[in-house]
Amino acid sequence: MLPFPVRNPRLLDEFTPYLVATPFNLPALDRAPFGVPVPPENIIDPLKLESEVFLRLLHRLDGLTFGPEGMPMPRWVFFDCSEMPGAIYGLARPAATLWPKARELFKVPHDYDGLVPVSMYVAIPMHRPGIWFGHNLSSLAPVFERAGVTDTDLRGLGSLTKGLALKCFGVQEFWGATQWLSKALFIHVKFGPLDLQTAFTPAHSEHETLTYGFRVTDAALRASMGDASVVLPRPPASFWLEGHDVPAMRALQDRIEAGERFVIPDVPRATPDGGVLVPITRV
């Protein structure tokens, strides 16, 4: 139980936290973020053979989340860029209590009785202590939405997972990358205004990627998870960027490279055609 209100408190009643980390990285992590303990049996060592099935299910969750977007993570990237240098935090459910549709989607082995992950957040430490780069946010919520499953309440699963993960990892300054049209952007901005470093990113396989950052505070984490008593300062928008407008992204990138500073101050607006309008504020 968290010491403050969250959007969907039932999630911590229905799911149990897990943590994937090597023995080298584990001592640096908070195994009870905001007082929510990770049971010792739920700490997964990616260097052990006994972790194989759980890690395969974790990789399957990534594929279910990002496969439709054309960005599933290869297994070697999962190990080289996630499990070894960083850490993975998420929520899970015992296979015996998993919903039939989830068993089908995950292709859970019939003789497996361990945990099945329903969410995960992966981050990688950068050079200076306390600065991390977010690598992956996966949740069963959008997967169920696409599959037409409507009888399971997973509201807030992604933001709850990311908030607890950043506390677990001890992140002080966060950087991440996402796409202008990604629904994950609606989650990321819950942590407060996002400082833009790129608006158009040819170095990424998806050029319509933005790179963003924010200072990590307990207030930001509590707000992201749904504590309505925390109100983060959000400046008004200077203009709006349409999520399909590549020339506008390039123009904004030119202004960033020329030394101007911009933030995404608040939640995007969905448009009837499936796009988004993202608020931009010149700082």
- Tokens standing for residue 45: 């060592």
The structural domain count of the chain equals 1
Give domain status of residue 18, yes or no. yes
**pLDDT at residue 19, rounded to an integer:** 98
> Is 95 within the bounds of a domain?
yes
- Please report whether residue 158 resides in a domain: yes
What pLDDT does residue 142 have?
80
Residue 93 lies in domain: 11-171
Assigned domain for 1 exists: no
Question: Which among 108, 78, 111 is positioned nearest to 93, based on CA atoms?
Answer: 108
DSSP state letter for 164: H
Determine, yes or no, domain membership for 43.
yes
Q: Is residue 151 part of a domain?
A: yes
Q: Indicate whether 221 belongs to any domain.
A: no
Q: Is residue 279 part of a domain?
A: no
DSSP class of 266: S
Mark the ranges of the chain whose per-residue pLDDT is less than 70: 67-71
- Predicted TM-score (pTM) of the model is 0.92
Token pair recorded at residue 239: 């203009």
